[in-house]
């Protein structure tokens, strides 16, 4: 009896040790995969705040919460199962699907650029596609647009994560994908919420009786609108860069290496201008060319969407 109990305790200890090892492995791979996806995470954080620009300050946090919830659903309910399924049964489909998402990012980025250059024409294009929404419908459209954009960026994050755990078993893959998805969502939308409410924090601090605190609060009140404008520009540039990058890398993975080699040759030539700034010049040149490609593709997509506007309005569900 005692021998049986000791054997059972040994088995329990072995299982506990194996579980601890597995958790350590998941944690380590989560950290590694999260670091690999950092570039896309930064783009996600830069893109999101522009969706609350122009809306009531009282609705900023509820909108961010809706987008964050949609982001979690994107990652855990749709992308995680899709990554596991495609990784095992149809890995060839991952790149084409990411490229479709890249085209959407090109369209979104080019549309924002169009709006900045020719606001009246851009508003007419938006009205032709969407109609003239009321404030509630406008908020819902912005949330839906943010969640769609998040879906593409989240797909890129999850694909990068999957690539880092491709040799692990299915349970580790699922655990790492879920961990990365949850942690990145909390980090991104926590930072976004802090950014969009920084002006309100500044107003509260500006009423302080402590001089330095009051000065800091006033600085926030003055600086945050400028920062949000700059961040919106960075977000648009990020969408164009990421969209173009997805398409270029996707073509290379499908066997069309010409565009990627052409861009790299130009970037290498530019980087020789300065040995000290070679890495920066190479990245900047590559990203700029990818963004220009994204603008061209996005512009063509805008024309295509505009000409298809009657069909889009007919297919769009009407809300009473």
Tens of pLDDT, residues 149-162: 888 888 878 887 78
Task: Report the predicted TM-score, pTM, of the whole model to 2 decimal places.
Answer: 0.71
Q: Is the pLDDT of residue 258 over 90?
A: yes
32 domain-assigned: yes
15 domain-assigned: no
What local confidence, expressed as pLDDT, does residue 191 receive?
82
Where does the pLDDT of residue 316 fall: very low under 50, low under 70, confident under 90, or very high at 90 and above? Answer: low
Domain that holds residue 151: 22-315
Q: Is the pLDDT of residue 173 over 60?
A: yes
Q: Is the pLDDT of residue 12 over 50?
A: no
Where does the pLDDT of residue 312 fall: very low under 50, low under 70, confident under 90, or very high at 90 and above? Answer: low
What local confidence, expressed as pLDDT, does residue 176 receive?
83
Of 86-90, 147-151, 178-182, 269-273, give the range with the top mean pLDDT.
Answer: 269-273
Where does the pLDDT of residue 9 fall: very low under 50, low under 70, confident under 90, or very high at 90 and above? Answer: very low
What local confidence, expressed as pLDDT, does residue 294 receive?
94
130 domain-assigned: yes
**Across residues 256-268, what is the average pLDDT?**
93
5 domain-assigned: no
What local confidence, expressed as pLDDT, does residue 199 receive?
79
Instruction: Domain count for the chain, please give it.
Output: 1
pLDDT digits (tens, 9 = 90+) for 212-245: 888 888 888 888 888 877 877 887 888 888 889 8
What local confidence, expressed as pLDDT, does residue 50 receive?
63
pLDDT digits (tens, 9 = 90+) for 90-127: 888 888 888 888 898 899 889 888 887 877 665 565 55
14 domain-assigned: no
2 domain-assigned: no
Q: Is the pLDDT of residue 289 over 50?
A: yes
Buried b (16+ CB within 10 A) or exposed e, 81-95: ebbbebbeeeeeebb
10 domain-assigned: no
Where does the pLDDT of residue 4 fall: very low under 50, low under 70, confident under 90, or very high at 90 and above? Answer: very low
**CA–CA separation, 186 and 239 (whole Å):** 21
Contact 106, 305 (CB under 8 A): no
1 domain-assigned: no
What local confidence, expressed as pLDDT, does residue 131 receive?
57
């Amino acid at each position: 009896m005692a021998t049986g109990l000791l054997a059972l305790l040994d088995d329990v200890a072995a299982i506990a040790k194996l579980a601890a090892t597995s958790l350590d492995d998941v944690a380590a791979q989560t950290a590694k995969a999260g670091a690999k996806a950092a570039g896309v995470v930064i783009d996600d954080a830069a893109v999101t705040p522009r969706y609350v620009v122009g809306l009531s300050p009282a609705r900023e946090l509820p909108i961010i919460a809706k987008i964050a919830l949609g982001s979690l659903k994107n990652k855990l309910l749709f992308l995680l199962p899709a990554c596991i399924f495609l990784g095992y049964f149809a890995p060839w489909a991952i790149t084409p699907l990411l490229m479709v998402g890249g085209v959407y990012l090109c369209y979104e980025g080019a549309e924002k650029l169009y709006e900045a250059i020719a606001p009246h024409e851009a508003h007419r294009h938006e009205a032709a596609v969407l109609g003239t929404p009321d404030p509630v419908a406008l908020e819902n459209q912005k949330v839906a647009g943010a969640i769609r954009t998040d879906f593409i960026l989240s797909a890129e994050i999850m694909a990068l994560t999957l690539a880092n755990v491709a040799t692990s078993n299915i349970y580790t893959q699922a655990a790492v994908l879920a961990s990365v998805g949850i942690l990145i969502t909390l980090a991104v939308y926590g930072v976004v919420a802090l950014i969009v409410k920084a002006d309100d924090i500044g107003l509260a601090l500006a009423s302080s009786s402590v001089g330095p605190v009051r000065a800091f609060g006033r600085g926030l009140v003055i600086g945050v609108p400028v920062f949000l404008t700059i961040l919106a520009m960075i977000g648009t540039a990020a969408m164009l860069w990421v969209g173009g990058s997805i398409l270029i890398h996707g073509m290379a993975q499908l066997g069309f290496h010409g565009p990627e080699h052409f861009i790299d040759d130009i970037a290498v030539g530019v980087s020789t201008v300065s040995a000290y700034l070679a890495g920066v010049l190479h990245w900047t040149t590559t990203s700029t060319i990818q963004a220009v490609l994204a603008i061209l593709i996005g512009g063509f997509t805008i024309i295509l969407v505009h000409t298809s506007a009657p069909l889009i309005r007919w297919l769009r569900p009407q809300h009473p």
